[in-house]
Structure 1
Amino acid sequence: MSSHEQALASLVSQLALSFDGAILGVALAYAAVRSFLKFTSNSKALRKIRKAPTLRVSDLRSILDLPQPSDENQNQNLDQDQNQKLVIVRGQVEAKSAIDGNWRSNVLVAHESGDKAVIVQRIQTCIYNEWKGFFGWTSDLRAIFGRSWREQESISLRTVPFVLVEGGRWPQSDYVIVNMDASRHPLPLTTMYHQLQPIDASPYTFLQALFGHEYPVGLLDEEKILSLGKEINAVGICSSRNGVLEIKSCKDLPYFLSDMSKDQMVVDLAFKTKILLWSGIVLGSLSIGVLSYAVVRNWNRWKEWRQHRQSQQQNHAASNGDAPLIDADEEAGDVPDGQLCVICLMRRRRSAFIPCGHLVCCQLCAISVEREKTVSQAGLGNYPAR
């Protein structure tokens, strides 16, 4: 384990165990609530995907109750986003420029492989050393938070408008435009390039290593694409605008463009739902146990503090000559004769005299005797001895 991981583990353990584990219980309760919320959302998404029909591109117009392209002059009012349905469409990726009839297709070309694509993602990850330094002067706070201040990964994403067409029937088949706006779902990209390039050291790098500062040692370069002609499934809201079919992502679903079929999505989502359910149950049970233990411990500590404070107040009142607070068992009651106060014969014997050590009277009577003794000694002191 590296230095910053050790410092982070120590800090987290100290925070978690503070207040007799109350912080840990609250954290577990928060995780349990998050698990139950995700379970609820995933359950709703699972029901929606199960009900969603799996269609080909050519079958979309029939299920949306839209007129065929030859009947565009009739019922034009139906083509203004009046009918939207959640569907699963399978088709091949094609650039939208090819649908528009442009003689020059607007597509992207992968930098390393040269393949044509509609989405190209380039990821560059900088890898830093894990050495603490020759002198070991790296502070724990810098080890914990230093990497968050530095951007280790840079991602560049290029896209062009694209559609899904029915394989084997293109270019005569219908098409559906893929609307990528406001979509944060994972994309079915294929890795075409993956290489780790070392970074040459410099004199400044030697100083960084000597005093424990992290320095870059390598650059991981990756290139992922969504190539033309790839068969994918689109899960989203399909609608028609001016006779053109369009599908966009649904924020309540964890999938949009995917390589998985409907059955694979259902199995994957059902497994995640079960994991979230049992995680919420286990974390909730642990949080209840930890919080209960913390509450009992703190309650006992508060009771001990309160009793200690009451005893201090009683001692202070007794030293000032005030009447102390008498416990309930010192009041008149069923007290054996041998334990009754010899002065009042009502309360239990509580106080012993010093230096003889005789236990003969209760606390209230002992204070009265001590007070009378003090007064008498003070009165005799005003007269000269004869």
Structure 2
Amino acid sequence: MPLRNHGTAAVLARLAVACDGAILGLALAAVSAASWVKYATTSAALDRISCAPSAPISGLRAILSSADYLNEDPLLVVVRGRVQPSSAVEALSDGAVSETNGVLTPRGSDEMAVAILNTQMCLYNEWRGMFRWNFDLHALFAKSLKEQRSSSSLLKSVSFVLVEAGDWPNSGYVHVNLDGSAHPLPLTTVYHELHPIQVPPFTFFQVFFGSGYPVALLDEEKILPVGKEITAIGICRPRDEAIEIKSCQELPCFLSDMTKDEIVAELNFDAGVLFWSGILLGILSVGILGYAVIRNWWKWKEWRLRRRRQNEDLNNEALSRSSMEQEDVPDGELCVICLSRRRRTAFVPCGHLVCCPHCATSVVHDSSPKCPLCCQDVRSSIRIYES
């Protein structure tokens, strides 16, 4: 674990066991609820993909015709084909296909591509620091490190189609519409390189305080090559004389390397993991919350019992004081200091019984305790009880 995360982990651990684990139980309950939500979403997507018709590209028009007849719009279909640029379709004439126009060429490869993704990510080094501190200077210098800290990406793409493998260009095709799609593309890495970063003037302070500092910039390039066989799962509808497929935001994927059976198997596995994790986390959160409730209930009862006893003691003390104050004490037995309470305490070593317990305590705790009757030094006092 990086050093900067140690302090955060310690704080989270103390927070988790606070209130006898109530916060940990609530956190587990939230994770369990999120697992159930994801399970419901994954199950719904699994049902839709399982029920979606899987047909070759040449048979899509027949499926769309039957869907229009049954008023099933929009129609979710699963299509598998090879990637070709739209320019290849436009240049199709007399059986000749041009695959060199309207495509992208990556810098790390001589392959032709319809999509290129350039990413940059800054790599950091961790050091413990001279005083083993975890002070993070990233927030202080975030403005100057903004471009290096964050991962940046740039996607270039051209319009492309899916054609039926083995029959192109004699078979049909389907246009792939990426507008509004947030799903990842099945890209292939063709280039990556590490670029050293020039040491900024404040790196010494970052090292001194044990903060991470940038050491290199990772530059990667990924492409969607022409001719790659992929699976498209989306909404299919006719567009002019062609057929178009568009992503469905409710589904977890749009274009994938896997076949329909592999996608269904993966979603089935994910649904099972989410289902059992939701159950286990829910049971664990209920147990922890139950324990926390019982523990805090008993603590509250003990607190109430202590408060009740303290109130009873205060009431008894007040009653005893009032009874002593209301007691009719003869003049010869009154305390020589306060002249209001009975003499009940004798001083040591003189043994004079001339003060009440309250005044005797004040005399003993004085800086120079002396008996008020004989002025002899006093070491302590003794309470005298009448039988």
TM-score by length of 1: 0.75
Change (3 A) 1:154 1:223: same
Q: CA deviation at 1:311?
A: 1.9
Matched, 1:248 2:246: yes
Pick from 326, 333, 351 the counterpart of residue 375 of structure 1.
Answer: 326
95-104 vs 123-132, which moves further: 95-104
From 134, 153, 157, the equivalent of 2:130 is 134
Letter in 2 for 1:249: S
| DSSP 3-state at the match of 2:212 | coil
Match in the other structure for 1:94? 84
Instruction: Give the whole-Å Cα distance in 1 for the aligned partners of 2:140 and 2:9.
Output: 13
Structure 2 residue runs without a partner (length 5+): 93-97, 335-387
Residues in 1 aligned to 2:154 and 2:75: alpha-carbon distance in whole angstroms: 33
Closer/same/farther in 2, CA of residues 91 and 38 from structure 1, 3 Å limit: same
Partners of 1:88 and 1:236 within 8 A in 2: yes
CA-to-partner distance for each residue in 1:301-320, whole Å, 9 max, x for gaps?
11111112222222233333
Write the mapping of 1:313-332 to structure 2, written as runs, cut at 5 A. 313-321=311-319
Asked if structure 1 preserves the Cα contact closer than 8 Å seen for 2:126 and 2:210, the reply is no
Q: CA deviation at 1:194?
A: 2.4
Letter in 1 for 2:80: R
Equivalence for 2:278: 280
2:310 is aligned with 1:312 = yes
Query: Are positions 1:233 and 2:231 aligned together?
Result: yes
Matched ranges for 1:201-220 at <5 A: 201=199, 205-206=203-204, 208-220=206-218
Classify 1:44/1:269 alpha carbon distance in 2 versus 1 (closer, same or farther; 3 Å): same
**1:362 corresponding residue in structure 2:** none
Most deviating of 144-153 and 33-42: 144-153
Query: In structure 1, how many angstroms separate the alpha carbons of the residues matched to 2:260 and 2:131?
Result: 58
Residue 50 of structure 2 corresponds to: 50
Q: Are the structure 2 counterparts of residues 373 and 136 from structure 1 closer, same or farther at C-alpha, using a change threshold of 3 Å?
A: closer
**CA pair 5-376 structure 1, distance change in 2 beyond 3 A:** closer
Take 1:49 and 1:115, find their aligned partners in 2: how far apart are those partners? 32
* Structure 1 partner of 2:288: 290
Check if 1:195 corresponds to 2:193.
yes
**Contact kept? 2:230, 2:255, Cα under 8 Å:** yes
3-state SS of 2:299 partner: helix
Kindly indicate whether the alpha-carbon contact (under 8 Å) linking 1:7 and 1:143 is maintained by their aligned counterparts in 2: no
For residues 333 and 300 of structure 2, the distance between their equivalents in structure 1, rounded to whole angstroms, comes to 53
Q: Give the percent of matched residue pairs that are identical in Structure 1 and Structure 2.
A: 45
For residues 220-279 of structure 1, the C-alpha deviation after alignment (integer angstroms, 9 at most, x for no partner) is 221110011111110111111334311111122112101111111111111111111110
What's 1:364 paired with?
A: none
Contact 1:119/1:227 (8 A) holds in 2 = yes
Q: Tell me the residue number matched to 1:112.
A: 108
Cα distance in 1, alignment partners of residues 264 and 286 from structure 2: 33
Give yes or no for contact 1:237–1:247 (8 Å, CA) kept in 2: yes
Contact 1:29 1:283 in 2 (8 A): yes
Number of aligned residue pairs: give it. Answer: 324
Checking the alignment, whether the CA contact within 8 Å between 2:4 and 2:211 is kept in structure 1 is: no
Asked if the contact 1:8–1:144 (Cα under 8 Å) also holds between the matched residues in 2, the reply is: no
- Aligned partner of 2:299 in structure 1 is 301
State whether residues 4 and 144 of structure 1, in contact with CA within 8 Å, keep that contact through their aligned partners in structure 2: no
Q: Which runs of 5+ in 1 are unaligned?
A: 68-77, 322-366
Q: Tell me the residue number matched to 2:40.
A: 40
Deviations 1:106-160 (A, max 9, x none): 2211121132111101111111111133354542x65899999853421111111
Match of 1:36, SS? helix
Q: 1:58: Cα distance to partner?
A: 0.9
The Cα shift of 1:197 comes to 3.4
Render the CA deviation track for 1:26-71: whole Å, top value 9, x for unaligned: 000000001111111111111111111211111100011079xxxx
Supply the distance in 1 between the matched residues of 2:327 and 2:198 (Cα, whole angstroms). 97
Alignment of 1:136-151 (within 5 A): 136-139=132-135, 151=149
User: What one-letter code is carried by the residue in structure 2 that aligns with 1:120?
Assistant: I
Alignment match, 1:27: 27
Q: Contact 1:35/1:276 (CA < 8 Å) preserved in 2?
A: yes
Cα distance change of structure 1 residues 20 and 142 upon mapping to structure 2, 3 Å threshold: farther
In 1, Cα distance between the equivalents of 2:18 and 2:140? Answer: 22
Q: Is this contact kept in 2: 1:4–1:143, CA < 8 A?
A: no
* Alignment-derived partner of residue 75 in structure 2: 85
Distance 1:372 1:288 in 2: 55
Residue 2 (structure 1) aligned with residue 6 (structure 2): no
Tell me, yes or no, if the aligned pair for 2:137 and 2:211 is still in contact at 8 Å: no
Compared with structure 1, are the counterparts of its residues 4 and 212 closer, same or farther at alpha carbon in structure 2 (3 Å cutoff)?
Answer: closer
The more displaced of 124-133 and 213-222 is 213-222
Amino acid corresponding to residue 244 of structure 2 in structure 1: E
CA 1:206–1:371: 2 relative to 1, 3 Å:
closer
